[in-house]
Amino acid sequence: MNDPGGFLPRRTARQPDLPAPAPLPRSLAGNPSLPYPAIGTELAELRLQIPGVRGSVLGGVDGLRITHDVPEELDPDDLAAVAAATFGLGRQVSLRLGQGEFCQSTVRNQAGYFAVYAVGAEALLCVVGQDAINVARLHLHAPPVAERLAKLLAQV
């Protein structure tokens, strides 16, 4: 999901006042974008347990990627930004209708699905699925994954 028009913002430089990230464990050498093994395991399990899931991204409600499990052809930074925009719209709908906090939103496209789940108050789990995905199964498995991710993020 590259952005050929250049419409989505890009992080171009590391903030100088932030500490350097800790080195990654050797066990994650295959996917260096997964800094915490338990979080990476949750994302990978979601992809493996639900046929049709192409990948997932864990991002902040600010649109910045935390970590991901997506193939190279998908841009995890773009997905995190789109998830945050989806969250913003879903939150406004929730507030206007008086139906409580945002929980999840699903967008169906011609060739697949994009689902966003709340992970606590500060993070989002977005899942990209093929058109053949069993959406009911996704909605059954993803919320418990989001709950476990919220607990793992609270420990970090």
Question: Do the domain assignments include residue 112?
Answer: yes
Cut 0.75: pTM above it: yes
Question: Do the domain assignments include residue 4?
Answer: no
Into how many domains does the chain fold? 1
Token look-up 């606590």 returns 120
Q: Which domain holds residue 39?
A: 32-155
Q: Put the strands of the sheet holding 123-130 in their side by side order.
A: 65-69, 53-60, 123-130, 112-119, 104-109
For 65-119, the pLDDT digits (tens) are 999 999 999 999 999 999 999 999 999 999 999 999 999 999 999 999 999 999 9
The predicted structure's pLDDT at residue 7: 52
Whether 68 contacts 45, CB under 8 Å: no
Left, alpha or beta for 120 (phi > 0: left; psi -120 to 50: alpha)? left
